[in-house]
Structure formats: structure tokens, C-alpha cells
Structure 1
Amino acid sequence: MTSSTTAPAPTWEAPLAGAPLDATVEVPGSKSLTNRLLVLAALAEGPGTLRGALRSRDADLMIGALRSLGARIEEGDHPSTLLVTPGPVTGDTEVDTGLAGTVMRFLPPFAALADGPVRFDGDPAARVRPMLPVLAALRSLGITVHDPATGSGDSAALPTHLPFTVEGRGSVPGGAVDVDASESSQFVSGLLLAAARFERGLSLRHIGTTLPSLPHIEMTVATLRDVGVVVDDSRDGMWDVSPGPIAARDVRVEPDLSNAAPFLASALVAGGTVRVPGWPTLTTQPGAMVPDLLERMGGTYTLTDGVLSVTGAGELHGIDVDLHAGGELAPTFAALAALADSPSRLRGIAHLRGHETDRLAALAREITRLGGQAEETRDGLVITPRPLRGDVVRTYADHRMATSAALLGLRVPGVRVEDVGTTAKTLPDFTGMWLSMLDSVA
């Protein structure tokens, strides 16, 4: 279900690409890694440092939430350097999740370690995002979770969405729990991140029919192992986390490869070359899929000394791709598909209906608004290219809807992006970065 507004939001005129590009784009740190590392640093045995951390609305919401739960987080010599000093997890506080899935799904297990109640709420659009799997898991582990409007007894109905209260009691017994993470891998990651602090650790089994964004769970497991937590993931859909200390670290955050996607994709739309430095050789980020996907759609790429370069000739070919492991890339590739020379099918992304908005409905609606043809399927989209025209593209408070609209605007005159400021969720200076890229021409 998409969110709505009572009055039209301001629009941003998406600039056309006047010439082939020759740009280098410095992409900020990964949101996914930043927020995982912040949680682990706040649960660690001593002070730690994050360097190159993302500073955006999502990351700042996580910082604010962890501060309210007892951690001290200060800036170093740069806003992207964060000094984290753990403290006792404190309750009788409130967590503002905004529209950040990592905050609303990662922190309820953390809050269960608090010494009192922790109340969670967020943006109006966040109140439709599913929460039941992680809250049901906590209740099965003996933690009281309730809707603040209906009472706190153990027999009270379990909340399925924000707002809710986690009655922290200072410790979590841990043990075995079943979770249906079909709607979001974040339900698994949130429980795993706090599990080493549970008295008996955690044995988690996924019981759903599908598991989206598995690379994000692999990212969680890798970050846990990096801080010394013992995780056994040798069985499909099962994770065993042993109780034990979480080591403090001084760590550098990788660039956000999914946020790099629309910039790199610009080379295919406008022609020319776009480079992103700091691209890792090995990574658990789903954005690692981007170069190969862009190549399949008509581009070429090289990775030399950590710099990924993508080159295009302004030609785009349709693609049939399963994005189950990287659903966050779907808006970028939907925009490319709308500009391609043949139809595309994006599959394996039914879970996007529960993201910041119903992304499948939103993408289909907005591509159609511009004259294209985009149809929802059971688990994705079929996009058949048609001549596009300028119009307002609604973003539904979704940062990736805004960046995909900017990509369309490189080729389609008159594209106006509603509420482009929503990109501050993960890219605080998106419009400045976009205009700077376009100023660098071949």
C-alpha cells in the first residue's frame, strides 16, 4: 500500500544529459554496513570507531536510537568518523524509527536487553511496514511486546506494525526460535545482531517459503564473525549464534554499492563513462551485482585498483533477471528497462511490496504515468518500452523511487521529481552529486 500526502510536494526538474559523461563519483558509506556496525559497536566490550560511516537520515536515526538506549556516540575529526562507547542498555525511553527498516527491525531485540520499556514509533508510512515476525520471535523468547494502546499483559494481542513497546527486562534467555522472514531478511538480521548477548545465544530457523535478500543476511553473519561472534550457518535457513563477547573494532565502512547503481547506470543512458572509487574486490553487499547487470543491458566495465568504471554508448537492451538477492536494485533497473530497446522482466521481488512503499505498484504506476508500459506480476514487473513523456514522478517517500526518476530524466525532457529530498534517507546530497556528475562530460 503506497503512502499519500495531503498536498503536492515540491518538485525537482530532473536534468537532461546534454553530452556523454566522463565523471568520477565518490559514493558515501554503505547504509546496510553502517547500521549493522553501529549496533555491534553499541553492544561491544569496549569503545570502537567507524570510519567512512554513512551520515544520512537512516544512519542518524540509528545513532539517535542507540544513544537513547545508553550508548555514547560522538563524531571524530570528520562527521563520517564515529566514536562509539557502549553502556548499559537503558529502558524507559523512546525510539524514533523514521522510515528506516534497519532501525525498526534491528533494535527490538537490542531493546529486549534494556532495563525497562522501550517505545517504538516512526513516520506515518512506517506504520504499514510489517513487523510481526521479529516481535513474535521476541515473545516466544519470553519478552513482553505490546501495542501501547491496548495494554501490556502477556495475553494482549501481538502488534503487527508500529507503534509497539518492548518491555526490556535486562536480559534475554535466548534459545530456539522460528521466524518467517519471507517479507524481509531484516527480521533474521535483527535477531542475529543481538543474539551473542542472549544468555544461551540463539538458534534461529527460517520457516517461510522464500527468503529475500540473502546477501544481507550473509553481510550480517560476516560482520558478526569480524567481531569474534561464533555463527554456524552451515544448514540452509538456519543460524546458530553462540553467546559470548563482541569485540570492539576500528573499522572502515565500504561505499554503498546500491547507491552507486543509478550513477553507474547513467553511463548507459547518457553514454560515456562513470567511475566509482573504493569498489571492493570481495563484498557481501547486494550491489556487487550491478556491474554484471549493466553489462547485460549493453554497457562494459572494468575494475582497476579499486575503481569501477562503467561505459555505455547510449544503447540499452532489455533483461530478464531474478533480483531476489538484490531487490533494492529494482528501481534502478526498472528505469533502465523503460528506456531499453526490448522488453524486460524483473523477477523474485514480491517482497518489495513491503518496503518504504509498495515499490512494485509505485514503479508500475509512475512508468505508466510517463507513457511507458509496466505491469505487475506475482513476483515482479514486466516492462515493455514505449516512448516516454515528461510529467511529475511521485516518490511515495521512497529514496529509490526518486533516484530512478532522475535516471529517466537524463533522456526524457520534463521529468519532475516529487520530494527529491527523500533521497536524504541514504544520500544527503543526491542532487548535488547528480548535477556534478552531469557537469563532467567527455
Structure 2
Amino acid sequence: MQISRYSAPEFDPYGDQRQTDTDDGWLAPVATAPLEASLSLPGSKSLTNRELVLAALADGPSVLRAPLWSRDSELMIEALRALGTGIEPVSGDGEYGPDLRITPAAELTGSTTIDCGLAGTVMRFLPPVAALALGPTTFDGDEYARKRPMSGVVEGLHGLAVDLDDDGRRTLPFTVHGTGRVAGGALEIDASASSQFVSALLLSAARFDAGLDLRHVGDRVPSAPHIEMTIATLAARGVEVRTPEAGRWIVEAGPIRAIDVDIEPDLSNAAPFLIAALVAGGTVAVTGWPAVTTQVGAQLIDLLPRFGAEVELDGDRLTVRGGGVDGGIRGVDLDLSEAGELAPNLVALAALANTPSRITGIGHIRHHETDRLAALATEINGLGGHVTELEDGLLVEPAPLRGGAWRAYADHRMATSGAILGLAVPGVVVDDIGTTSKTLPQFPQLWERLLA
């Protein structure tokens, strides 16, 4: 089966988010035969939102080709527009929507409110941008967004003498009183709760009067590859980030070059589809796989064989072959400190394995869209599984699973994890499959066509 490009009479960035088969949610399809599927995926959320910020701060117009159209990217687009950036769709041959032309504002303006939704990239990347705008900018978001860690950004801006009013909470909501400039200079922050604290400051640093000499103090920074992604996107625009020692990043003041950028497919969003080959058996291929990338989803090439998959990369086509649950899925002992966003889908796979798994280095994902460790343990155990929370991970032991309700907690990775389990367990009902619109609006259609 070949999964073709997304098609509709007119492009709809949120696709068809119907709740099918039950009034209580989305009945996850069961795999009744080995798979033989090939698909392409929309652009990377992490790259799209970084490039949107850099394009808004650049020295001229930029075009993003094949960007992601999803709730997170649209929240970023609307936020940058509110600060005065010109952003408009332009014709392109992208499979999942139009390209984007970004025209920087002559002068960024505040006096606005930004809805962050549940997007960490919006709530963390944009306060330093708002500090470069004239006027107050208030940040708020979904209910759970107020629980997500923001201390590294808040304290970082305080350390740069930016007037930020948060009533001492170190969380949303808060107001940045921009003056049109940030002095910059030396700064220390604790980024052990999120690598996005570092990326947030680096993305705007070249526009600070004295650049930035940033030091991390505290435990190791999780998801370090995301910082490397930020450094690479800056380098492509002529901004050098020097790292004279671990945990220190230096950016000189200077222009951010306007360039046209091709956005890579989202490799983390490939995870549930590739995992499906292990659960259902057969093969699943993802096309457009980049030869060189900073995305943590690239680690799937090494991670999936540990569960028993055969993985082959031929040009830009990555193929995964698995034997299905009857053929045996191996348990694993993994440290996912660099790839925490893959953890929910891999934990779902581990719940179907025939030997125990210990997945650690992911304590920081308690502070993602939801407390993912507690959510995974609760939902898998609710289906008859045996998952124990550890200080920084999960112990997953084999247990027969049964159908039942699966709560997504407004978390796209939790929703896709429920779909993975539903391949092998009849009757899994995901309460809110529409939450996948955060990064992959077309997930329900692609998933069902995967099994067609």
C-alpha cells in the first residue's frame, strides 16, 4: 500500500479529526494482517518553529518550504504576527500545505497578548523576542501550560535586566515589558528542566546589544540534541555559536541572515508508524528521511533494532520490518535522556514486549504536555499492564492487556501511544485523538490508511 499525499478539496491544516466508532472517543484500529505501507510525513515542528523565529528576526524576507501546519506552528505564526511580523502562505508543491513567506517587521511592537496553547516552543522561544519589541506583551496558554517549567526563561530575562512581571510564579501567565532592545552579556541559568531554556535565549541572542555569553548551572541539560538543532539553524543564517566548554554558549551580536529553508519531515512523528511494523508485523517505510539531521527521531534507526526490528536506510527511504507481537518483541534497557520525546511511543511498544523493559533518563518528561511518566503508567496499568514509576523513568513488565479507555491528557504523544497499543489490543478507545493536531493533524487518516 502506498499512502499518498494529503488531499482535500481545499487544504485544511487540521485534517479530519472525527471521533469514529464510539461516542466516547476514537476506537483504535486493530491490525488484522502484516503491514506493507509507505508514507511521507509533514515537516518537523521543532525546525518549523525555530525557523519561524529566526526568519522574524532576520535582515530580510525568508521562505520556509514544506513547513509544518499544526496547532503548535499556527500558534507561533499568530504570535509573531501579533508582534508585527509579516507571514503569508505562498504557493508551493508541499504535500501538506503551502510554503510560508516571512517578512520581518521594521520594528517589533508589543502591546499585545500571545496565546501559547500548550506549545513549549511558543511559551519559551518568544519572551526574548518580545523583549526586543516596544511595549508590553502578555503570555498565557492552556490550563496545563501554567504548570510547565518556565524558570530558565523568566530568570534569564531578569538576569538580562528585562522587565518581566510574573508575580514571582516563574510560570505563565506573565508580561514582558519590551523596550526595543536587550543589553545582553554574561548570563547564568539552570536549564536542567528543559533544553528549550537554552534554545530560547540563543535564538534571539545575536539581536542583543552585546550578544550573549550563556552558562548552564545545575544538573545536565536534557534533550541536548535540540540545542544542537538550534545551533545548526543559527549557523545556516550566519550566526556562530561558540561552545568553549560544556554548558557554555557564546553568541556575538550581529545580523541574522535571511535565507530560504527546506523543512525536514518530522522524524519523531514517524515513530508510531515505524513502531507499527513491530506490533503488526510486516514493513513500514518512511520516505524523505534526511541523510544528515539534528532531529532526535533519527535515533529510531538504532533504537528499534533493540526491540527486535530490522531497519534499512536506502537513500531517503527508511524501512522497518517486524515480526508482530506473536513473533516476539524484546524488552530493552534504555537511557533516553537525549530523546525523551520518543519515550511515550517506545514505552507503549515495551508494554507489548515479552520481557521487561527499563527506560530511564526521562524524568524531565514529567513536565512536558502532561506528566508523561504518571500518565503512561496510569493508562497502561488501566488496560491490565504492569508499569512502575521510577525516579527518572519507567519499569515495564509483561502483562496481558485488555481493551478499554485511554486518556490522552491533551498530549499528542499519549494519543499516538494509545493507537500503538490498539494495533494489538482490541477495544482501545482514545478519548481525544484530535490532540494530535498539535504536531500531526492528519494522524487519524494516515493511521487508518496504514492499516487499510
The match for 1:418 is 431
CA distance in 1, matches of 2:417, 2:409: 13
Structure 2 matches for 1:59-98, cutoff 5 A? Answer: 59-78=73-92, 79-87=97-105, 88-98=107-117
Letter in 2 for 1:22: E
CA distance in 2, matches of 1:158, 1:241: 29
How far apart are 1:9 and its partner, in Å? 8.8
Letter in 2 for 1:161: T
Residue 192 of structure 1 pairs with residue 202 of structure 2: yes
The match for 1:331 is 344
Query: Is the contact made by 1:233 and 1:239 (CA closer than 8 Å) also made in structure 2?
Result: yes
CA distance in 1, matches of 2:104, 2:256: 11
Aligned with 1:404 (options 403, 407, 417): 417
Paired residue secondary structure (1:91): coil
CA offsets 1:47-78 (integer angstroms, 9 cap, x no match): 00000100000000000000001100000114
CA distance in 2, matches of 1:80, 1:230: 30
Residue 145 of structure 1 pairs with residue 159 of structure 2: no
Letter in 2 for 1:95: I
Unmatched runs of 5 consecutive residues or more in structure 1? 1-7, 148-156
The match for 1:116 is 135
Superposition TM-score, scaled by structure 1 size: 0.94
CA distance in 2, matches of 1:9, 1:417: 11
CA offsets 1:400-431 (integer angstroms, 9 cap, x no match): 00001000000001000011100000001110
CA offsets 1:261-316 (integer angstroms, 9 cap, x no match): 00000000000100001111111101111121111100111111200000001131
CA distance in 2, matches of 1:319, 1:308: 22
Structure 2 matches for 1:346-425, cutoff 5 A? Answer: 346-425=359-438
Letter in 2 for 1:27: L
The match for 2:260 is 250
Paired residue secondary structure (2:339): helix
Paired residue secondary structure (1:166): strand
CA offsets 1:369-402 (integer angstroms, 9 cap, x no match): 0000011111100000100000000011000000
Letter in 1 for 2:230: T
CA offsets 1:161-187 (integer angstroms, 9 cap, x no match): 111000000100000111111111000
Moved >4 Å (runs of 4+): none
The match for 1:153 is none
Unmatched runs of 5 consecutive residues or more in structure 2? 1-21
CA distance in 1, matches of 2:168, 2:210: 24
Query: Is the contact made by 1:332 and 1:400 (CA closer than 8 Å) also made in structure 2?
Result: yes
How far apart are 1:80 and its partner, in Å? 3.6
| RMSD of Structure 2 on Structure 1 (CA) | 1.1
Q: Percent identity?
A: 59
CA distance in 1, matches of 2:198, 2:185: 15
Superposition TM-score, scaled by structure 2 size: 0.92
Cα separation, partners in 2 of 1:213 and 1:129, compared to 1, 3 Å: same
The match for 1:166 is 176
The match for 2:71 is 57
How far apart are 1:37 and its partner, in Å? 0.3
How far apart are 1:26 and its partner, in Å? 1.2
Letter in 2 for 1:86: P
